[in-house]
Amino acid sequence: MRNTKNSHSWPFRRLGVWLLLLFCGACSPPQDALDTIREEGVLRVLTRNGPTTYYESQGNPSGFEYHLVKDFADYLNVELEMIPVVSLDELFENLHEGRANLAAAGLSITPERSAALQFGPSYMSVKQLFIYNRTLTDKPADYAALPDLRIRVLGNSSHAEVLRELREQYPSLTWSESRDQETIDLLEQLQQGEIDITMVDANEFHANRAFYPDFRIAMSAGKPGKLAWALSKNADNTALQQALETFFEEIKANGELDRLIDRFFTFNERQSFIRTQTFLKMKEQRLPSYKGLIEQVAIEYDMDWRFLAAISYQESFWNPKAKSPTGVRGMMMLTRPTAKELGVDNRLDPLQSLRGGARYYKKLYTRLPSGIEPPDRSWFALAAYNIGLGHLEDARILTEKSGGNPNLWSDVKETLPLLRQRKWYKQTRYGYARGDEPVRYVENIRRYYSLLTWDELNRYRVPPPRIVSDYLPSGLNRGLEAL
């Protein structure tokens, strides 16, 4: 499993190639990158496939990096072309060869990368973690235990740089690097016991943890990494860099960056791990019986079936006979008056219940104030499904009085729990409400929806072909190189 010769010397050889490209590029004046983007009307962006970066969701692009860079393309008033590649190797090579204007792939700013690349403003800090499989490996006590473990990380990654720094303190430390894999492949190797430990960024760990219940954090590694987009030094990026700085200043000021971070990352770390495991178990045992009906209703009401599935699980655990002490019943837990309003004759009929619930959600979505934009509009509609439009509007008014933005879910969800306190609810029209419940309700559904989305991404993903030399013993590689 260990290929220390390839894994440790390769990044420095690659860095030499980058510097050579940089030197050759200096022979003629490079064209202004921003002018090129505007002339062609297209922003070309290299990325990697994964739940924290870019993926296809029911035929539509999604992912944190995608939405962030789509906002930048809209800011420039140009089209966006995403170019997914398999490895960091391929990403950096394509960037230096001018096949894209920038790379947006959850990249950490590191000294080695900064020698050959230009970076835009940092938009997030993430911890770098050593993780292990507790059923196969004992938790390492500290860094001194690492030399005795089989370690594999992504080739040319910031994690490899951390390991090189650690080797100065622990000379016997060895590891191997994969140039043909994504994070999910390393997690699969850890699951199967092919390696003892690997490194991932904290956001990637929390995005994938539900699928690997036996994975644990061994320790943090180095300082938190600052994520940023990368640009090639072979182009004149002066104007593009200025545009990036202005863009990020604006989305930080107007809350859009925080909203994207909240949408894709924040809720992952707060969710009950046991609740997540129960959901995954029910997904395998109960969802198949009702998936066809859920998909049918989702098509009828122009909804993502996984979103409707997440709502119905939160409501009833996909149990069409469910009943609560308050009298709500069925797959979507409708009250008798609501069912009558929606034309549902039999609340225990799963198809009728799903249709009624979907109709009610869409009605609430439409009735929300026009200033609430997607995806927040979906979160507000869910909260209204749980607590009602009246209490939700009370919370929006309190949010605005407190200096928050009543159109942002991240602000209003902080105010909703205050509806339990007399000093706050006495100021409202509809009075007391258990405002913490819709907050948990929305966050649970978002979590379940993400799990269904990422499960499909991983289930139908085709692993890239392996680079054989990365998996051969170092001695055999030396023999092959001599041929």
Distance of CA 22 to the CA centre of its chain: 33
Pairing of strands 102-108, 42-48: parallel
Decide if 81 is catalytic.
Answer: no
Which pairs count as long-range contacts for 303-308, CB under 8 Å and 24+ apart, including other chains?
A: 303/358, 303/361, 303/362, 304/57, 304/58, 304/449, 306/58, 306/449, 306/452, 306/453, 306/456, 307/378, 307/445, 307/449, 308/354, 308/357, 308/358
Task: Return the closest-CA partner of residue 153 out of 135, 175, 169.
Answer: 175
Task: Return the closest-CA partner of residue 180 out of 13, 6, 51, 324.
Answer: 6
Are the beta carbons of 103 and 89 closer than 8 angstroms?
A: no
DSSP bridge partners of 56: 61
Are the beta carbons of 178 and 470 closer than 8 angstroms?
A: yes
Tell me the C-alpha distance between 367 and 22, whole Å. Answer: 56
Are the beta carbons of 52 and 63 closer than 8 angstroms?
A: yes
Helices 436-459 and 273-285: angle between axes, nearest 10 degrees:
50
Are the beta carbons of 440 and 423 closer than 8 angstroms?
A: no
Class of residue 235 by CB neighbours under 10 A (exposed 0-12, middle 13-18, buried 19+): buried
Q: Token pair for residue 121?
A: 């403003």
Per-residue DSSP letter, 347: T
Are the beta carbons of 436 and 391 closer than 8 angstroms?
A: no
Tell me the C-alpha distance between 307 and 442, whole Å. Answer: 11
Per-residue DSSP letter, 417: G
Are the beta carbons of 151 and 196 closer than 8 angstroms?
A: yes
Pairing of strands 117-119, 55-57: unpaired
Number of CB atoms found within 10 A of residue 367's CB: 10
Are the beta carbons of 154 and 181 closer than 8 angstroms?
A: yes
DSSP bridge partners of 61: 56
Among residues 188, 315, 393, 443, which one is catalytic? 315
Tell me the C-alpha distance between 241 and 270, whole Å. Answer: 35
- Which residues are tagged catalytic? 315
